[in-house]
Each structure stands twice: as C-alpha cells, then as structure tokens.
C-alpha cells in the first residue's frame, strides 16, 4: 500500500513538474513583474503563446538585414507596451491572447 502510494505520488509530482515547466514563458517569472507578465507566468496557454512569439521574433530578427533590425526591435518594444495595456481590460486573458495571436500573425506575414 505504501509502495503504491509512493509510486502515485512520484507520478503526480512528475506530472505537476512538467505542467509547471510547460507554463514557463520566454521571460523570467518572479517578483517585480508587470501585472500582465504575472498573468502570463500563471497561465500555460499564454506562456505557450509567449514562447511561440519569442521563437518567431528571434527567427525573424536573425533573418532581417542589420539596417532594419533596429526598427523591428522598436516595433516589438512598442508591441510589449501595448500588450501590457491589457491590465485595463475586463477580460485580461482574452485581451492578452488576442494581442499575441495578432502579433504572431503579423510577424508570420512578413
């Protein structure tokens, strides 16, 4: 009985560990985050969208001519500020999800 409980406990711990790992966005979670960033850290779907965008942005930046990279970085910085305005929305998660989906689609169109 104890052995079975221990095996179940190890399995649950491993599952929870992988879920927590899956919820890690591209940025470091911790104290001092903007309210929107904290929500992203707590939500696996938003964290996945953040990782998808970060990967796409990194690839696009790498394939953008040096002379145009500064503009792309400024655009991304402006997008982050806009995303962070979702703290004002009634449905913060839907707002954040929409911002990510819109940005991902915009970058894919390039």
Instruction: Give me the residue spans of the domains in the chain.
Output: 2-108
Per-residue pLDDT of the chain (110 residues; tens, 9 = 90+): 554 443 444 444 444 444 445 579 999 999 999 999 999 999 999 999 999 999 999 999 999 999 999 999 999 999 999 999 999 999 999 999 999 999 999 999 98
Distances (CA, A) of 101 to 68, 94, 108: 23, 10, 10
CB atoms within 10 A of CB 57: 19
Distances (CA, A) of 46 to 14, 86, 91, 92, 100: 22, 13, 13, 11, 8
pTM of the complete model beyond 0.85: no
Cα 83 vs. chain centroid, distance in angstroms?
11
């Amino acid at each position: 009985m104890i052995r079975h409980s221990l095996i179940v406990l190890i399995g649950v711990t491993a599952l929870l560990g992988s879920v927590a790992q899956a919820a890690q966005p591209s940025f470091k979670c911790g104290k001092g985050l903007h309210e929107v960033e904290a929500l992203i850290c707590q939500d696996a779907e938003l964290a996945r969208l953040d990782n998808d965008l970060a990967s796409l942005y990194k690839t696009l930046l790498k394939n953008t001519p040096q002379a145009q990279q500064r503009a792309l970085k400024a655009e991304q910085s402006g997008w982050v500020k806009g995303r962070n305005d979702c703290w004002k929305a009634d449905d913060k998660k839907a707002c954040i999800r929409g911002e990510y989906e819109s940005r991902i689609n915009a970058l894919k169109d390039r």
